[in-house]
Amino acid sequence: MTSARTIPFRKMNGLGNEIVVVDLRAGGTPFTEDEAAVIAQAPGSHFDQMMVLHPPRTAGTEAYVLIYNTDGSAAQACGNGTRCIGWLVAENTGKRSFKFETVAGILDVDVATIGRISVDMGTPKFGWADIPLVEAFHDTRAIELQVGPIDAPLIHSPSVVNIGNPHAIFWVDRLDIIDLGKVGPMLEHHRMFPERANISLAHVLGPDAISLATWERGAGLTRACGTAACAAAVCAARKKLCGRSVTVHVPGGALHILWRDDDHIIMTGPAEDEYAGEVRIG
């Protein structure tokens, strides 16, 4: 643990997904995972994800962004958090289009209003080794994984994909078919997923709508997970359950997901700026 210091932050949310933003572009000591977990537990600074802005590493980008989950572990991507930092940069600079670099790659952001922010989430990875899985599956639209009796499982045959983070989508007739708060931790840490995984239940409402509940890797049950919404949308299209333009309904609201013909996923939704604060660590 480094010496004690006070960290200014902004508390935001994307459809109820709690986001803390820390801007270190003007200088500051990077966080350890232990420190990130401490910040998540401090009064007023709880987060599902913390977006830490560092000086840009690549020309043309606004910042290099490191992302932390509630437990302090690193996340490679966070769609709701990217919309939040997009709004802050737009408010501070007056620009409406810009790029952020993350571990998952460079993300393009377009800000119309605080209620309509679009993020190019890149392209999905469907190969079993790219997700990654511990064993080979030729068709990742449905892998062998189930919960419940072997002859009558409650959920089974999830679609898997990497949208910056690993995702497993179980297709269900109703979201309350199983207690995701109980099975989520088991499935997140299942041996099938060597880097753990985000676990979702998805109910297809029609050719352009999906209802979704998500257990988020390193964070737990969440009101919204942007990458999970993207994962459900592209996997539904891949299984021909939906078209390539869908509204994904999550407990916190709705996101629009467009899987373009060039394979890029465009996620559009709101962000909310709650308050500024400080937290002391060390």
Tell me the catalytic residues.
78, 225
Which of these, 140, 144, 83, lies nearest to 117 by C-alpha position? 83
CA distance 95 to 85: 13
Q: What is the DSSP code string of 214-257?
A: EEETTTEEES--HHHHHHHHHHHHHTTSS-SEEEEEETTEEEEE
Do the Cβ atoms of 197 and 188 come closer than 8 Å? yes
| Coil/strand/helix, residue 149 | coil
| Coil/strand/helix, residue 80 | helix
Which of these, 82, 63, 84, 17, lies nearest to 273 by C-alpha position? 84
